[in-house]
Amino acid sequence: MIQPNNLLAVDLGAESGRAILGTLDDDQLVLLEIHRFPNTPVRLPDGLHWDILHLWSEIKNAIAITTRKQDRPSFSVGVDTWGVDFGLLDRCGALVGNPYHYRDNRTDGMMEQAFRRMPRDKIFELTGIQFMQLNTLYQLLAMVVGNSPALNSAETFLTIPDLLNYWLTGQVACEFSNATTTQCYDPRQRDWSTPLLDALNIPRRIFPNIVMPGARLGALSPHVAAEVGASQVEVIAPACHDTGSAVAAVPARNRDFAWISSGTWSILGAELREPVITSASLKNNFTNEGGVGGTFRFSKNIAGLWLVQECRRAWADGGGEISYEELTRMAAQAKSFCAVIDVDDEDFLKPGDMPGRIRAYCERTGQPAPESKGELVRCALEGIALKYRYVLERLEEMIGRRLEPIHIVGGGTKNRLLSQFTADATGRPVVTGPSEATAIGNMMVQALALGHIDSLDEARTIVAHSFELCAFEPGHRIGWDDAYARLLTLLESKRPTEWRRDEPPKR
């Protein structure tokens, strides 16, 4: 490459947003954080909303800051966010109301309402998406049931990143990876599911055309360009769903790999050419979401470091602030397998006294309760690794082949003890990194769209060359098989209500 290529990734998470500039030069990607800002929901009389105008202002700030850097005269920008939430536009292109937050309670009871209009198995047959109360489908149904004036007057539906792209460029389109999270999309027909939308009385006319990751949406609208002082900025739709971008940054060297996006919540899956929509994937509550190059992320949500984070918060509230590094050191020295927990049990889903909840779970299931902080954290980390094994085995059963290695990306890669536990529990080699996978994958799709690189394989090679990766081999497997058998016993004794839970977003 003669000239470096500057790629701005705007990554919006449920708690914060950040803009990271990547410089791609001589097949090396170098990152520079440009801007970081909070993403705080707003409670209004009608419910919980996103502060979308604040996010819009901060995105413009990020572009303006990048523009002011004298050595960055031109660049592209891509926006990725969480899934399922959306905005509605009226016939003049104006936003109708403030977008709701997926944790708003307006979707209470909507899944049951949907199943009265179309059977659960038929909805899965049409969409291949796991059942979660927060899905777009049930948010829209809540508006139908409530005879929402906003829905009645809407002309256009746009998921959150699509809305931001519309404001940046004036182009109306829904990007594939985020469209698939809505449970309104038919992955076999590669279009919105008209039969499903009609059955739930959701107006099909509001759903725009779908574009694939890498779509070049065009230059900034003139008024936006003038406001941010930018004249040479092109907007590209990456995989606009954050996990779709993260998986694009997995530095895999083969096709049969498993991936885990690890952080507060974990998502474990495989990258496939076609969706897996079967009775088994319905039973196991797996999901088929879009990826780069027309691929599908066949995956399942798993509680991640949430339990450890909540333990730490509870101890801090009690006056005992402890770093994650110290907690991990204490866990490494604690007794192994003092108890086995299902980290996805509904007892652990909400904020609260997590140490007390873990102890109560153990007592309720006839196990000795961990006492020390180290034992509690180790119990949580072992539980996460054991659940990884369980989900991986279900995944392999459904696709009919072994997946190896396991690639872990995201902030959870910083917990080396969990990475080693994952290798030990699954008996598979584990490769961790990069931690900034979402922003990096966003940049790599931009580079593909602009012709700076030729393929996703080349993108993954660049990631492998540009960032430090760590390898963990299975070892110290004594006790893991016995602990796994205990987990299976716990899971078999549970009432099958997993699909009813308000699970975390796909982040």
Residue 500 has pLDDT above 50, yes or no: no
Give the mean model confidence (pLDDT) for residues 128-146: 96
* Phi, psi dihedrals of residue 412, rounded to the nearest 5°: -65, -15
The pLDDT tens digits for 103-124 are 899 999 999 999 999 999 999 9
* 5-242 against 244-301+385-477: fold identical: yes
The pLDDT tens digits for 345-355 are 989 988 889 99
The pLDDT tens digits for 246-282 are 999 999 999 999 999 998 889 999 999 999 999 999 9
At 142, is the pLDDT very low, low, confident or very high (cuts 50, 70, 90)? very high
Q: What is the mean pLDDT of the chain?
A: 94
pTM: 0.91
At 507, is the pLDDT very low, low, confident or very high (cuts 50, 70, 90)? very low
- Give a three-class secondary structure readout of 264-294: CEEEEEEEECCCCCCHHHHHCCCEEEECHHH
Catalytic site includes residue 424: no
pLDDT computed for residue 482 by the predictor: 95
- As a whole number of angstroms, the distance between CA 273 and CA 277 comes to 13
Residue 387 has pLDDT above 50, yes or no: yes
Q: Percent of the chain beyond pLDDT 70? A: 96
Helix axes 52-68, 160-169, angle to 10 degrees: 50
Q: Which one of the listed residues 11, 104, 242, 344 is annotated catalytic?
A: 242
Question: Are β-strands 185-186 and 191-192 bridged in parallel, bridged antiparallel, or unpaired?
Answer: antiparallel
CA dihedral 199, 114, 131, 310 (to 10 degrees): 140
Q: What is the CATH number of domain 244-301+385-477?
A: 3.30.420.40
Question: Are β-strands 233-237 and 296-303 bridged in parallel, bridged antiparallel, or unpaired?
Answer: unpaired
Domain boundary assignment for the chain: 5-242, 244-301+385-477, 306-382+495-500
Non-local (6+) Cβ contacts of 371 within 8 A are: none
pLDDT computed for residue 499 by the predictor: 36
The pLDDT tens digits for 152-189 are 999 999 999 999 999 999 999 999 999 999 999 999 99
> Helix, strand, or coil here: 313?
helix
pLDDT computed for residue 2 by the predictor: 34
The CATH architecture to which 5-242 belongs is 2-Layer Sandwich (3.30)
At 72, is the pLDDT very low, low, confident or very high (cuts 50, 70, 90)? low
- As a whole number of angstroms, the distance between CA 120 and CA 25 comes to 50
Non-local (6+) Cβ contacts of 401 within 8 A are: 256
At 75, is the pLDDT very low, low, confident or very high (cuts 50, 70, 90)? very high
pLDDT computed for residue 495 by the predictor: 54
At 70, is the pLDDT very low, low, confident or very high (cuts 50, 70, 90)? low
